[in-house]
Structure formats: C-alpha cells, structure tokens
Amino acid sequence: MGQEMASSGIRRAAANAAPTSGVGSTPASAAPPRVGEQIQRLRAERRMTLDDLSRAAGVSKSMLSEIERDKANPTIAVAWRLTNALGVSLDSLFAPPKAPEAIAVSGPHDIPTLSGHEGKYQLRVWGPIELAGKFEWYELTLQPGGALVSNAHEPGTREHLTVLHGSIEIEAAGATKRLKAADTARYVADERHAIRNAGKGEAKALLVVIHG
C-alpha cells in the first residue's frame, strides 16, 4: 500500500466499486462520495488543524486544502496516508453520510475551541464543519496583550469582525484601525493580517470569514 498509485483517484475507485442496476449501467445514487468533506469532518472531530494533518500525513497543506474542498482528488496512496494519520480505515471515506436532523442542536461541549499561544486568544468555532473553507464564524476572545495573527487566506477572502466588548485593533493591507464595542470592521484577508487586543481588559468579538 506504500507504493504510489498516481493514476488511481478515490472517486474513480468508489465509482468502480459501486453496485450497478444492470449490465453496463450505473444508477444515479451510485455517485462517488465527496471524500474531501469526509476528511474535513474527521479532522474537525479530532480538533486537528490543516497544519496538524499535513504534518502527520506527509501531505502538503495546499494539497490537503484542495482535497477538503473537493477541488482535487487524492490518489489511493495519499488517501491512505490521510486516513492513517486520522486513525481510521480507508473504507471510512466511503461511508454514506447520515441523514440530517430537522433541528440539530449543539451543546457548549460540542463546539470546538482553539487556544492560542500561552492562552492569549481563544477561538470558538460556531460554524458547521460542512461550511469550513467557504463561510466560517467564530467567537474570538483576546486576553490583554493577545493577538491573532494570520497568514494570507485564499485570494478574494474577506473577514468581518464585530467587537462585542473591549477594544480591538485590526491590521490589514498596510492599514491599522482601532475599534470599540459595537464597531464592525470589514477587511481583506488574502494577505497577512492581525487582530489585537488594544485595551487593558479582555476583549471579545464575532469573526466571520468569507473565503474567496
């Protein structure tokens, strides 16, 4: 399994393995699964970042991002490395998705929380995993002196930040703006940018990311 199978894509393998309704025909319901969404879901359940999974699987971050957004199909060898790093079998990528609930409720312990260096910031991931990489929203808490510094996102990505309480400074596109409670900043995020606590107390904000 360690050998590369560059010509074999996951979707093709799934399509070939799907049952057919007759000779030479394939029912519409046998469409290959969206393996990128499955990988993204498994990564989120384990609270792994793209960097974490990239390093663990030996797959570049850019390739992993393309795979998760179903813009690229992994080879069998790449998919095996990813599932191995996630601690699941390759077959799990082909598991049919569960039917969505009419009303799905997530409790406070179901919301992934990411903590920054020395606990200076905390991100609560309010957006559902199926929208990750497209439209995301977070509750950002910054301790005094805390900052969330991000590298460039995909071209065309913009962020929208509303200060809930405290004072926050935004740095983007060579400009800096200071915001107080109830202020909203909208700025480009396809280049390096930063969100900093500009006050002496805790600051909290709603952060919305719309990917390009």
**Nearest C-alpha neighbor of 182 from the set 168, 200, 201:** 168
Q: What CATH number does residue 63 fall under?
A: 1.10.260.40
From its phi and psi, is residue 93 left (phi > 0), alpha (psi between -120 and 50) or beta?
alpha
Count of structural domains within the chain: 2
* Predicted local distance difference test score (pLDDT) of residue 3: 40
Model confidence pLDDT, tens digit, residues 13-46: 444 444 444 444 445 455 566 788 888 888 887 8
Last residue of a domain, one of 53, 69, 94: 94
Give the range of the structural domain holding residue 195, as residue numbers without chain letter.
Answer: 108-210
The whole-angstrom separation of Cα 112 and Cα 125 is: 5
CATH number at residue 121: 2.60.120.10
Of 64-78, 91-105, 182-196, the least confident: 91-105
Beta-strand pair 203-210/158-165: antiparallel
Domain end: 60, 94, 128, which one? 94
Averaged pLDDT for residues 173-194: 96
In a domain, 184, yes or no: yes
Instruction: Provide the 8-state DSSP code for 96.
Output: P
Paired tokens of 99: 């039917």
Residue 212: which of 130, 162, 153 has the closest Cα?
153
39, 115: one domain? no
Record the pTM.
0.57
d(CA 65, CA 63): 5
pLDDT digits 0-9 by tens, 90-142:
877 776 666 777 898 888 887 888 888 777 999 998 988 778 778 999 999 99
Residue 114 CB neighbours (<10 A) = 14
Do 73 and 117 belong to one domain? no
